């Protein structure tokens, strides 16, 4: 009775709030509190807008791959091959640009083709042959990592002129610059990857919210049987999710390549786990049916902000990053679990 009253007193919108929105709200609040805390207690670095943009620059690739991961997770699957695909894309593009002297546009096409190929094969195996997504993408990860060393073993920097010019392109953010120690005004900037990442987030937000395919993802992830009864083509929907995830891994791979400007077999190691962690922090459930692309963006930002905070506090011993990220993940998971179990 008391519970009912309480629900009536608080805003009516909270009564209708879906799991997805509630989890998103928690994430956003924690991110804002964390960043504000860093601004107040750590000051110097975090007060500058450029610090935030640097976080964006370094994590644009992770944002894009995490979006793909969220799509697959919403349909109830998982794709742990994305890190491998990112490494393979950067290596292939690097080899193409430096050894074949190719042009930048074709290298972009190569990146997209690799991503699509991984997405299509994995999607076919998962959706049409009904093999567990974990095993399929595990094989995908092994294959991508192995192929990366077969393509080229030693890491190297790309010196292709057109590419280096593109890599160095900076887009100034108006009004966000700061005055440096010498009294000179320095513009704040972002890299091209950030623009692409934001476009991807916006596009996917609309796709998930208002298109037939997007709603299909949620329906299939929520309950496959009832989605089938509603007349949704379950197989094609799952295939599309994996295909899109592969494509986004390809795009993410190119953004990563654009950021680091080199090819190496050890690139993006553990990225798949970061992508999964970001999606979870952003409120996507691995069981499927619940998730939000905007949450994924906030998830990536939270993850990288905590890493930044750890390193700026001075806990630069390598193990602290791992432990704090894990502790944060643990906290988020328990909050989610407690809240969801109370609601049901």
- Residues in touch with other proteins (CB under 8 A): 78, 125, 128-132, 134-136, 138-143, 145-147, 149-150, 153, 265, 273, 276-277, 280, 285-287, 317-323, 325-327, 329-330, 333-334, 336-338, 341
Count the helices and strands in the chain (H runs, E runs).
16, 4
Q: How far is the CB of 26 from other proteins (least distance, A)?
A: 15
DSSP string, 20-70: HHHHHHHHHHHHHHHHHHHHHHT-HHHHSHHHHHHHHHHHHHHHHHHHHHH
- Closest CB to other proteins among residues 160, 284: 284
Q: How far is the CB of 124 from other proteins (least distance, A)?
A: 10
Identify the bridge partners of residue 157 per DSSP, sorted by sequence position.
262
- Closest CB to other proteins among residues 92, 190: 92
Q: What angle do CA 72, 201, 69 make, to 5 degrees?
A: 20
Report helix, strand or coil for 252. Answer: helix
- Closest CB to other proteins among residues 215, 235: 235
10 Å CB burial of residue 222 (0-12, 13-18, 19+) is middle
- Closest CB to other proteins among residues 258, 276: 276
- Closest CB to other proteins among residues 202, 334: 334
| Rounded Cα distance, 93 and 282, in Å | 31
Q: What angle do CA 190, 273, 144 make, to 5 degrees?
A: 90
- Closest CB to other proteins among residues 47, 150: 150
Q: How far is the CB of 182 from other proteins (least distance, A)?
A: 40
Q: How far is the CB of 50 from other proteins (least distance, A)?
A: 28
Strand 170-179 to 185-191 pairing: antiparallel
Q: How far is the CB of 319 from other proteins (least distance, A)?
A: 3
Q: How far is the CB of 278 from other proteins (least distance, A)?
A: 11
């Amino acid at each position: 009775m008391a519970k009912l009253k309480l629900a009536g007193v608080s805003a009516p919108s909270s009564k209708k709030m879906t799991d997805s929105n509630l989890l998103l709200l928690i994430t956003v609040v924690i991110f804002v509190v964390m960043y504000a805390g860093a601004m107040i207690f750590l000051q110097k670095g975090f007060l500058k807008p450029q610090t935030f943009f640097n976080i964006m620059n370094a994590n644009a690739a992770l944002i894009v791959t995490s979006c793909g991961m969220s799509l697959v997770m919403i349909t109830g699957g998982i794709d742990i091959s994305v890190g491998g695909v990112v490494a393979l894309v950067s290596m292939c593009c690097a080899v193409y640009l430096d050894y074949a002297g190719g042009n930048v546009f074709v290298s972009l096409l190569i990146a997209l083709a690799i991503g699509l190929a991984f997405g299509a094969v994995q999607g076919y195996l998962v959706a049409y042959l009904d093999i567990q997504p974990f095993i399929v993408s595990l094989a995908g990860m092994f294959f991508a990592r192995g192929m990366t060393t077969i393509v080229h073993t030693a890491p190297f920097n790309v010196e292709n002129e057109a590419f280096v010019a593109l890599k160095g392109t900076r887009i100034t953010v108006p009004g966000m610059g700061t005055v440096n120690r010498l009294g000179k005004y320095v513009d704040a900037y972002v890299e091209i990857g950030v623009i692409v990442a934001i476009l991807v987030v916006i596009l996917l937000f609309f796709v998930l919210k208002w298109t037939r395919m997007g709603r299909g993802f949620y329906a299939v992830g929520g309950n496959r049987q009832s989605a089938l009864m509603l007349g949704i083509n379950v197989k094609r929907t799952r295939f599309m999710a994996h295909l899109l995830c592969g494509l986004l891994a390809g795009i993410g791979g190119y953004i990563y390549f654009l950021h680091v400007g080199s090819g190496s077999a050890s690139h993006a190691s553990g990225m798949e786990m970061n992508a999964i962690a970001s999606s979870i922090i952003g409120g996507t459930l691995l069981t499927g049916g619940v998730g939000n692309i905007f949450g994924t963006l906030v998830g990536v930002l939270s993850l990288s902000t905590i890493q930044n905070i750890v390193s700026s506090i001075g806990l630069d011993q390598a193990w602290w990053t791992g432990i704090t990220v894990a502790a944060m993940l643990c906290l988020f998971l328990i909050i989610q679990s407690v809240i969801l179990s109370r609601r049901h």
